[in-house]
Amino acid sequence: MVVEEKKVAIVVRKYDPKTDLSGVEDVERRCEVGPSGELSLFTDLLGDPICRVRNSPAYLMLIAEIIGSEEKEIVGMIRGCIKTVTCGKKLSRNGKNNSEAIPKPVPVYTKLAYILGLRVSPSHRRMGIGLKLVRETEEWFRENGAEYSYLATDNDNQASINLFTDKCGYAKFRTPSILVNPVFAHRVRVSSRVTIIKLPPCDAEFLYRKRFATTEFFPRDIDSVLNNKLTLGTFLAVPRGTYSAESWPGSSRFLSSPPDSWALLSVWNAKDVFTLEVRGASRVKRTLARTTRVLDRALPWLRLPSVPEVFKPFGLHFLYGLGGEGPRAVKLVKALCGHAHNLAKERGCSVVATEVSNGEPLRLGIPHWKRLSCAEDLWCIKRLGEDYSDGSVGDWTKSPPGLSIFVDPREI
Ligand SMILES: CC(C)(COP(=O)(O)OP(=O)(O)OC[C@H]1O[C@@H](n2cnc3c(N)ncnc32)[C@H](O)[C@@H]1OP(=O)(O)O)[C@@H](O)C(=O)NCCC(=O)NCCS
C-alpha cells in the first residue's frame, strides 16, 4: 500500500488577534477537556488570549501553525513576559557617613522572564511543537535581556515537567501553595477588635517598598501593579484604637510609630480578565451545591459554608502582597481575608484565591478549603545567560527559599 506523504511545515510566529483568535480558542477548548467522567476546569479568556500577560511591562504571544499544501491550522501557543524582580538581598550602608551607618538589607534585582499558557493541541502532541515554542520564546527573552526564566506547573503534570527539566534545562525551584476559599452567600464577620483602612496607592507603594522590597519575586514596578485598574485596593489592618481612616497620618509617619502588630494585602480583580467554570459534575453534585446556596441565602445568620456557583462561568479575586508584622499579625490577616471575602461577595465573585510560600508564617490566618486549593504549585527556573547583575547573590537558581514569596497578580 502506498501512503502518500503530505508535506507539512510547522511555523512559529507572533499571535495576530485579527486572524488567530478562533484558532487559538479552539486549541484552548481542546486542551481543557479532562479525562472522561472527571471534573475539568474550563477557562474563558473573554476573547482576549493575551490577557494573561498584557499587564506586564514586556510580553509576547506566539502560536504554532501547521501549514500544508491546502490548509493551515493553529495547533499550539505560548505566552511570555519579562519584568524586574528581587532575587535576593544584600547589606548596604546608606548614610552620609558610611562607616557609621547601620547596614540595612536592600533588594538585589534581576530581569526575570515568565512562561505561561503553553498549550499544544492533543492531536499534535509529541511532535516537538511544545519544545519549539519554548525555544523561540527563550530566544525573545534573551534578546530582551532576561537573566532567568521560570514557569509554574502542576506537580503531577509529567509532560510539562519533562519538557522543561529534561529538554530545556529548568530546575525545580519553589513549591508555593495556592489557597482558595469559596465566597459564601452570607457576609463573613470581621473582628470588631480590628480596624481596616484602605490605603491610597502611593501609601501602599511606600509601605511595600519599605517593608517587602527584599521579598523574593517582589516586582520593581510595584507602582504599576498598585495603580492598575484591576487592583481594587490595598487594605491595612491594625488593632482597634491605634489608627483609623480619619487619623491616618500617611505611611511614612505610620512606620515611624507603628502599632505592635499590623498586616496588609491587596485585591486584584481577576474576574475582568478571565472566568472559570467547573465542567463534568454530575446532576447530584450540582443539586447539592445549589441547595447549600439557597439555604445560605435564605438563612444568612446560620453562616453555612455554602458551595458557590462554580458550574457556570464564575470570577475570582486574587489576594496579593500579603504581609504583616507583630504578634497579632495572623489574626489581622484573618480579618483582612474576611474583608476581602465580603468585597468579593459584593462584586459577584465565587472564589477568593491567593498564593503563598510554604514557609509563610501568615498563612495560618488565610481561610481556605483544602479541596479547592493546591498544596504544591511547582515553579521551575533556568539561568538564561552568563552575565548577571546579581553578583552579590550568586546563582539565584541555587539559593534556598525565603520565608515569603511575592506572587505577582499579573501572572495568575
Ligand atoms: C506539555 C505540552 C505543552 C507538551 O507539548 P508537546 O508538543 O507534546 O511536547 P513535545 O513534543 O515538544 O515534547 C518535548 C518533550 O517533552 C516531554 N513530554 C512531552 N509530552 C510528554 C508526555 N505526555 N509524557 C512524558 N513526557 C512528555 C518529553 O521529554 C518530550 O520529548 P520526547 O518526545 O523526545 O520524549 C502538551 O502536553 C500540552 O499542551 N499539555 C496540556 C497543557 C499543559 O500542561 N501545558 C503546560 C503548562 S506549563
pLDDT in tens, 136-150: 999 999 999 999 999
* More reliable by pLDDT, 365 or 105: 365
Which residues have any ligand 1 atom within 6 Å of their CB?
A: 31, 118-120, 125-131, 151, 153, 157-160, 162-163, 166-167
Pocket test for ligand 1, best of 136, 162, 411 (most atoms within 8 A of CB): 162
Q: How confident is the model at residue 45 (pLDDT cuts 50, 70, 90)?
A: confident
* Cell 496588609 -> residue: 264
Do strands 104-120 and 148-154 pair parallel, antiparallel, or not at all (unpaired)? parallel
C-alpha cell at 341: 471575602
Distance in Å, CA 321 to ligand 1 centroid: 33
* Cell 477557562 -> residue: 43
Given its phi and psi angles, is residue 241 left (phi above 0), alpha (psi -120 to 50 degrees) or beta? left
Instruction: Identify the residue whose C-alpha is closest to ligand 1 atom 17.
Output: 163
d(CA 152, CA 155): 9
CA separation, residue 251 to residues 200, 231, 300, 370 (Å): 10, 19, 37, 35
Q: How confident is the model at residue 3 (pLDDT cuts 50, 70, 90)?
A: very low
What's the whole-model pTM score?
0.91
Distance in Å, CA 119 to ligand 1 centroid: 9
Q: H or E segment at 73?
A: strand 72-92
Q: Per-residue pLDDT tens for 167-207?
A: 999 999 999 999 999 999 899 999 999 999 999 999 999 99
Q: How far is CA 154 from the centre of its chain?
A: 14
Q: According to the model, what pLDDT value does residue 96 have? A: 56
Residue 166: CB partners within 8 Å, gap ≥ 6? none
- Interior angle at CA 62, CA 58 and CA 68, nearest 5: 165
Q: How confident is the model at residue 1 (pLDDT cuts 50, 70, 90)?
A: very low
| Averaged pLDDT, 343-352 | 94
Q: Determine the residue type at 202.
A: C
| Averaged pLDDT, 314-328 | 96
pLDDT at residue 21 tops 60: yes
Domains contained in the chain, CATH given = 9-93+101-176+377-398 (3.40.630.30), 179-375 (3.40.630)
